[in-house]
Amino acid sequence: MEGRIVLITGGAKRVGATICRRLHRAGASIMLHFRASAGEARLLQAELNHVRPHSVALIQADLLDVAKLPSLVEQTVQTFGRLDALVNNASTFYQTAIGDIGVDDWNNLVGTNLQAPLFLAQAAAPALKKAQGAIVNITDIHAERPLKSYVVYSVAKAGLVGLTRSLARELAPEVRVNAVAPGPILWPDEEVFDELARQRIISHTPLRREGSPDDVAKAVHYLLAEAPYVTGETINVDGGRHIAL
């Protein structure tokens, strides 16, 4: 990743921050996107720029504002001179049970998890083709096996898997497009899974334990830096949970 430029959405905290740290440690410079986590974004920028000055820049945007998405790519190229990779990590996650789904839920969940990755990829395509670059989308094992009461989220992530495959065809041969599908890595900030539910999930995971954010970051690094003949693939990083559901 030495000298490569990576735009990472939702990179200020949780898994996104771990991806930023791993790619930065491998030599990449980062355009770190955030929406509301300004404090976390600035702290992470300061941490990484202390290691390597001027290697991390910040950009704030609401990914639901489609008209502003091309500016994320434009500002990355203006700041660093090029764009080698796009990591669509930002996500919205909450319950939408049948009977309670509204249009706002659809627009929010599909907008963040599917619409934004599509339009960011479209905006980034010329720069990525020039750089012979790559895209990694962060999907979910529930794209293939829907999570009960999370209808819209599951549909949006399923769409993101389909988008990954479609973009892999559309942007080949210059740009590779792949995905990483995490399983039980970090529990949501909201207390939607109590301790019993968490233990039940882990018990149905073949490796019988939670993963770490760095497990996801390692997979992203592999797809960006060490997989030149891999495209259109989704790597499940879930302790085998996808085969046990």
User: Annotated catalytic, 153?
Assistant: yes
d(CA 217, CA 70): 25
The residue among 228, 143, 150, 241 whose CA lies nearest residue 190 is: 150
Catalytic residue among 94, 153, 222, 229: 153
| CATH class of the domain comprising 5-191+213-239 | alpha beta
pLDDT at position 38 is 97
pLDDT (mean) for 66-84: 98
Q: Which residue is it, tokens 């992470």?
A: 44
DSSP code at position 114? I
d(CA 171, CA 166): 9
State the chain's maximal CA–CA distance in angstroms. 52
d(CA 31, CA 7): 5
Work out whether strand 5-8 and strand 85-88 pair parallel, antiparallel, or are unpaired. Answer: parallel
Average pLDDT for the chain:
93
Question: Looking at beta carbons, which pairs linking 163-168 to residues 24 or more positions away fall under 8 Å?
Answer: 163/114, 163/117, 163/118, 163/121, 163/137, 164/135, 164/137, 164/139, 164/232, 164/234, 165/232, 167/121, 167/135, 168/231, 168/232
Confidence band (pLDDT; 50, 70, 90) for 240? confident
**For residue 176, which phi and psi values (nearest 5 degrees)?**
-95, 145
d(CA 16, CA 87): 9
Q: What is the pLDDT of residues 36-50, one digit of tens each?
A: 999 999 999 999 999
Q: Answer yes or no: are the C-beta atoms of 141 and 241 closer than 8 Å.
A: yes
pLDDT at position 204 is 80
Record the tokens describing residue 121, joined without a space.
Answer: 């990829």
pLDDT (mean) for 121-144: 96
Record the tokens describing residue 71, joined without a space.
Answer: 């500016």
Q: What is the pLDDT of residues 177-193, one digit of tens each?
A: 999 999 877 766 656 66
Q: Where are the domains of the chain?
A: 5-191+213-239
d(CA 144, CA 166): 16
